Amino acid sequence: MTDIDQVLETDLDANTLRKFARAFWRQQWRSDNPDATMEEEKAAWAIDKKKHMIHAKRALRWLETQGVLVSIRDASN
């Protein structure tokens, strides 16, 4: 178990949470940096990955408490 997985102990599968966090972050980052390369995106994600994962977990928990989100799972499984 990685440090991120320990911090983000949740009912969600760790890989699903990572995918959600990355997609959520990428949408905002791409709108702020439309001309950036994929390498720049990867570097920006790596710098604050743990922080982004924590924010994503908080957002998901908030959605659950509001009754908006019942479950989230990886559709590719």
pLDDT digits (tens, 9 = 90+) for 8-55: 455 566 777 788 888 888 988 999 999 999 999 999 989 988 888 888
**pLDDT range class, residue 58, cuts 50, 70, 90:** confident
Q: Give me 30's structure tokens.
A: 């791409």
**pLDDT range class, residue 62, cuts 50, 70, 90:** confident
Report the interhelical angle of 38-47 vs 49-65 (nearest 10°): 80
Tallying the residues shown for the chain, one arrives at 77
Give dist(CA 38, CA 44) in Å, integer.
Answer: 10
Domain parsing of the chain, residue ranges? 3-7+16-65
Give dist(CA 10, CA 30) in Å, integer.
Answer: 28
